[in-house]
Amino acid sequence: MKNKTEIGIIGFGNFGKFIAKHLKNKAEIVVTDNVDKSKEADELGIKFSTLDEVLKRKIIILAVPMENFVETLHKIKNKLQEGSLVIDVCSLKMFSCKAMLEILPKNIEIIGTHPLFGPQSAREGIKGMKIVLCNVKAEDKTFQKVKKFCEELGLKVITSTAEEHDKQMAVSQALTHFVGQALKNINIKRVEMSTKTFDDLMNIMEIIKNDTKKLFENMQTMNPFAEEIRKKFIKEAEKINAQLNSKSRRKTR
């Protein structure tokens, strides 16, 4: 991936804009979306065009919501350039990698990625942030180029299988957002007499507050390992609560 490589991005929502912003100095970026966002693209100094025009690029990044992912694959499968590289940024890799492998043509390369950051957590910059790469169906030479490109952006690259990724995400993402969502729902707010630990909890809420309801549901229901870790957490929380309640009753007798 040399400077000014042409990259097409499908999906110009919050994360698509975020990607484009950080790649525009490294490559020629062309973006598209289901709705006309040419004005927003102009403001970032990026070209907005049609899906057909974007698919003329040899490198395609899919930045669409997971609920639209399979539909998008079917839209593009017969329009991709032979030998092109398709990269996704879904937070669930077993789902996206399986879908790309099954739907996309045999004559292209596929790499699954998951940037472990977003517009909120990386608002100060992406240097030092982590990204996961899964080689779904790419030549080693291509995979190493993508890895090097990410490292040149200042990212810490983790290579993984899709299954191992989802197992770890069940803990680091699904469980964290589950706890954060519960805190949000009971309207926990910052207080003056806060501890560092409490501030960290509030920081979690600040990061997830802009997540859509659908995104939260997807990470909980589409990760095959998420339900088990939630059950373990809830069971242990109930156990701890019962023990404390029992001790409290004995002390008040």
> 10 Å Cβ neighbour count for 88?
28
- The residue assigned the tokens 């045999």 is 106
- pLDDT mean over 90-113: 97
SS3 category, 6: strand
| DSSP codes of every residue in 176-228 | HHHHHHHHHHTT----SS--HHHHHHHHHHHHHTTS-HHHHHHHHHSSTTHHH
| Residue 103 to residue 136: CA distance in whole angstroms | 13
Q: Is the pLDDT of residue 147 over 50?
A: yes
pTM, two decimals, is 0.88
Q: Which domains are seen in the chain, by residue range?
A: 5-160 (3.40.50.720), 165-251 (no CATH)
Task: For the chain, give the percent of residues with pLDDT over 90.
Answer: 84
SS3 category, 174: helix
Residues 6+ apart with CB under 8 A from 74: 103
Q: Work out the pLDDT band at 206, boundaries 50, 70, 90.
A: confident
SS3 category, 71: helix
Strand order in the sheet with 156-159: 47-48, 27-32, 5-10, 59-62, 85-88, 109-115, 130-137, 156-159
Residues 6+ apart with CB under 8 A from 228: 170
| Residue 163 to residue 161: CA distance in whole angstroms | 5
Per-residue pLDDT at 1: 46
Please check whether residue 47 is in contact with residue 30, taking contact to mean a CB–CB distance below 8 angstroms.
yes
Please check whether residue 30 is in contact with residue 9, taking contact to mean a CB–CB distance below 8 angstroms.
yes
- pLDDT mean over 99-127: 93
The alpha carbon dihedral of 183, 184, 186, 188 has a sign of positive
- pLDDT mean over 86-98: 97
Strand ranges for 116-180 from DSSP E: 130-137, 156-159
- pLDDT mean over 171-183: 93
Pairing of strands 109-115, 85-88: parallel
Q: Which residue has the higher pLDDT, 125 or 163?
A: 163
